[in-house]
């Protein structure tokens, strides 16, 4: 039995390097890094924890996030991993994150595990002090955040996010992986949550698996991803019968960037 951390990346080299450093205190058996149209990752040879790099081409429609997650999971399975920890490239691993996820997955199979995530302010000139991450702990208020050592079962799959989660390899087989019809930004993790719910998996928030999201500029709503969001919203609607990302779509509509047409949401103009 072994544990793999799976990270997908495109053009986030400084964040990937800091994630590497954060994993050294509690390293996984395997660190699978899926480089989406990013050849620089395969040339990187860090000390201490060498990534097992999987290279994935860019899709003509955008970055293949769902396909990249599946490619990373397949490599982790091929390496013998029975616990798969998916960690966003922007996330730094808190103290004991890998061990907490591995222990939880093995002790209670049949569940998807999510850890609290704190959004960090911009890094100081010397970078984040990894030894003091816990002092900055302030998990996102829209998600459950049990204390370290505690668990909180939930039936609200709308709260699932792909920033930091773990599950057993057999449980990934049960939900079938991420739907690769999604390309570009948005929707694939909401779809995966519905697949997990339909497969009969449980959802639990794990206080011991804390992560810290490195700062980077963002748009709210994500106006640069309008086309992706509308396209992926239609994929989701065809599969599940309701519109995901409702908050973003409504905010984009208020800005005149999307509108409700006869066939649902569409890019305006």
pLDDT digits (tens, 9 = 90+) for 197-219: 999 999 999 999 999 999 988 88
Contact present, 37 and 63 (Cβ < 8 Å)? yes
Q: Give the closest residue to 242 by CA, choosing from 268, 221, 259, 265.
A: 265
Share of the chain above pLDDT 70, in %: 100
So what's the pLDDT on residue 269? Answer: 73
For the stretch 17-28, pLDDT in tens is 999 999 999 999
Q: Give the closest residue to 184 by CA, choosing from 6, 90, 58, 71.
A: 58
Tell me the pairing of strands 91-93 and 264-267: unpaired
CATH topology (fold) of 3-213: Spore Coat Polysaccharide Biosynthesis Protein SpsA; Chain A (3.90.550)
Average pLDDT of the segment spanning 137-166? 96
Q: Cβ of 44: how many Cβ atoms within 10 Å? A: 15
Q: How far is residue 246's CA from residue 234's CA, in Å, rounded to a whole number?
A: 12
Q: How far is residue 37's CA from residue 64's CA, in Å, rounded to a whole number?
A: 10
Q: How far is residue 95's CA from residue 109's CA, in Å, rounded to a whole number?
A: 23
So what's the pLDDT on residue 220? Answer: 83
For the stretch 178-196, pLDDT in tens is 999 999 999 999 999 999 9
**Is the pLDDT assigned to residue 163 strictly greater than 90?**
yes
So what's the pLDDT on residue 221? Answer: 87
For the stretch 120-147, pLDDT in tens is 999 998 889 999 999 999 999 999 999 9
For the stretch 25-64, pLDDT in tens is 999 999 999 999 999 999 999 999 999 999 999 999 999 9
**Mean pLDDT, the chain, as a whole number?**
96
Q: How far is residue 86's CA from residue 69's CA, in Å, rounded to a whole number?
A: 8
Q: What ranges do the domains of the chain cover?
A: 3-213, 223-267
Average pLDDT of the segment spanning 101-106? 98
For the stretch 218-227, pLDDT in tens is 888 899 999 9
């Amino acid at each position: 039995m072994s544990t793999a951390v799976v990270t997908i990346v495109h053009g986030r080299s400084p964040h990937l390097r800091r994630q590497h450093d954060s994993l050294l205190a509690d390293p996984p058996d395997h660190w699978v890094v899926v480089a989406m149209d990013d050849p620089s990752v395969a040339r990187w040879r860090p000390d201490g924890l060498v990534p097992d790099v999987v290279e994935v081409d860019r899709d003509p429609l955008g970055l293949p996030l769902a396909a990249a997650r599946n490619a990373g999971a397949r490599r982790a399975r091929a390496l013998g991993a029975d616990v798969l920890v998916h960690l966003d490239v922007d996330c730094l691993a808190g103290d004991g994150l890998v061990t907490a996820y591995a222990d939880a997955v093995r002790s209670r199979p049949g569940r998807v595990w999510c850890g609290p995530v704190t959004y960090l302010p911009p890094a100081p000139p010397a970078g984040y002090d990894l030894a003091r991450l816990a002092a900055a702990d302030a998990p996102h208020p829209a998600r459950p955040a049990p204390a370290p050592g505690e668990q909180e079962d939930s039936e609200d799959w709308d709260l699932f996010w792909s920033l930091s989660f773990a599950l057993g390899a057999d449980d990934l087989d049960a939900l079938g992986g991420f739907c690769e019809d999604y390309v570009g930004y948005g929707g694939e993790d909401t779809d995966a949550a519905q697949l997990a719910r339909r497969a009969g998996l449980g959802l639990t928030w794990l206080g011991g698996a804390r992560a810290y999201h490195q700062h980077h500029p963002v748009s709210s709503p994500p106006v640069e991803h309008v086309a992706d969001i509308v396209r992926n919203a239609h994929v989701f609607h065809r599969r599940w019968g309701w519109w995901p990302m409702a908050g973003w779509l409504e905010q984009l509509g208020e800005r005149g960037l999307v509108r409700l047409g006869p066939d649902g949401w569409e890019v305006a103009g």
